[in-house]
Amino acid sequence: MKNIITQQIDGHQIITRIEGAGGLIDPEATRRRVAVEIEKTDVAKQINEQKSMMAVYARQAYQASKNHRTAKTEAEKRGFEDEYRLRHAQSKEIEKILAPLAVEYQKKFREMVTEYAVYFTPKEGEYIVEDAEAADAELKMIAATQAGRVLKKDLSEIVDNRGKVYYKKTSGEWFRFEMRKLGDTAPSGAVLDADLTDAQRLEIMEHDTKLRIAALKPAERLAERDVIIDGLAHRADAMRGKLDIQGDKDALAKARAWYDTEKGKVEAKYA
Q: What confidence tens digit (pLDDT) does each residue in 216-228 have?
A: 999 999 999 999 9
Q: Which residues pair with 169 in a beta bridge?
A: 174
The per-residue pLDDT for 21 is 86
Side-chain half-sphere exposure of 95, counting CA atoms within 13 A: 8
Q: How does pLDDT run across 128-153, given as a tens digit for each residue?
A: 999 999 999 999 999 999 999 999 99
Handedness of CA 76, 82, 85, 90 (dihedral sign): negative
The per-residue pLDDT for 66 is 94
pTM above 0.85, yes or no: no
Side-chain half-sphere exposure of 170, counting CA atoms within 13 A: 9
Q: How does pLDDT run across 93-114, given as a tens digit for each residue?
A: 999 999 999 999 999 999 999 8
CA separation, residue 147 to residues 15, 137, 144, 157, 189 (Å): 16, 15, 5, 10, 20
- For residues 207 and 174, the answer to whether their CB atoms sit within 8 Å is yes
In this predicted structure, the answer to whether residue 204 has a pLDDT above a threshold of 80 is yes
Instruction: Give 168's pLDDT tier (boundaries 50, 70, 90).
Output: very high
Burial class (CB in 10 A: 0-12, 13-18, 19+), 144: buried
Burial class (CB in 10 A: 0-12, 13-18, 19+), 52: exposed
Mean pLDDT within 165-178: 94
- For residues 137 and 4, the answer to whether their CB atoms sit within 8 Å is yes
**Cα–Cα nearest to 82, from 64, 62, 69, 70:** 64
- Whole-number Å distance between alpha carbons of 61 and 7: 68
Q: How does pLDDT run across 29-39, given as a tens digit for each residue?
A: 999 999 999 99
